[in-house]
């Protein structure tokens, strides 16, 4: 089974691109969803985050308050790296579980939607890397709409992320999401991987 790592800057449209791969029968593993589930349900993960950032990032019910945590980390690169380092272990365990389930089901390929693909080291477990690239104005617009935040807050998030060149240099395939024909780009990748 092929493991395809899909990554890119926040707001580049990774989830949207994954929908296209899903239409062609590939399984999609969304690491952001896994992290949200961990914040809700994994006592071990929650306690590790509290150890790193204090209990001020908890809701009254003992779950991770994503807004409070985001306020701490999105404008501070060192804090963001600390959070990522803390959460990667738990996230990758779940990703590997899901991949093993796909192998048992004899699925041909899985796409792992992972914004932190390189930072987590999971790129080394992928057969191919796909990066999604989009211009800054489109990314800002998407982030503001998706997360209901201001342009200034979106810019702070983007300031702590890699340049497009970082992704392009480390990828086997690049999808441009600025209004281009996504279907054609996805089909070209699948044909190259002999998945069509």
Mean pLDDT for each 10-residue chunk of the chain (196 residues)? 97 96 96 96 96 94 92 87 95 98 96 96 98 96 93 88 95 96 97 95
Task: Give the pLDDT score at 157.
Answer: 85
Q: How far apart are the C-alpha atoms of 196 and 194, rounded to whole Å? A: 6
Q: Which residue, among 169, 196, 176, has the nearest Cα to 132 in the 3D structure?
A: 176
| Single pTM value for the model | 0.93
Please tell me the total count of domains within the chain.
Answer: 1
Q: How would you classify the pairing of strands 2-7 and 173-176?
A: unpaired
Task: Give the pLDDT score at 160.
Answer: 80
Task: Give the pLDDT score at 74.
Answer: 82
CATH code where residue 123 lies? 3.40.50.300
Task: Give the pLDDT score at 46.
Answer: 96
Task: Give the pLDDT score at 103.
Answer: 97
Q: Tell me the residue range of the domain where 32 lies.
A: 2-192
């Amino acid at each position: 089974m092929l493991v395809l790592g899909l990554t890119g800057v926040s707001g580049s449209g990774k989830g949207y691109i994954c929908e296209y791969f899903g239409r062609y029968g590939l399984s999609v593993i969304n690491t952001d969803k896994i992290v949200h589930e961990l914040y809700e349900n994994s006592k071990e993960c929650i306690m590790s985050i509290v150890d790193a950032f204090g209990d001020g990032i908890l809701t009254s019910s003992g779950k991770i308050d994503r807004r409070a945590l985001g306020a701490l980390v999105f404008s501070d690169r060192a804090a963001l790296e600390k959070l990522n380092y803390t959460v990667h272990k738990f996230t990758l365990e779940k990703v590997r579980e899901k991949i093993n389930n796909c192998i048992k089901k004899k699925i041909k390929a899985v796409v792992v939607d992972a914004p932190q693909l390189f930072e987590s080291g999971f790129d080394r477990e992928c057969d191919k890397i796909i990066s999604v690239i989009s211009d800054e104005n489109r990314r800002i617009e998407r982030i503001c709409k998706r997360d209901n935040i201001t342009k200034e807050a979106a810019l702070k998030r983007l300031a702590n992320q890699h340049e497009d060149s970082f992704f392009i240099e480390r990828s086997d395939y690049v999808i441009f999401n600025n209004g281009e024909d996504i279907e054609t780009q996805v089909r070209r990748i699948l044909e190259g991987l002999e998945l069509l």
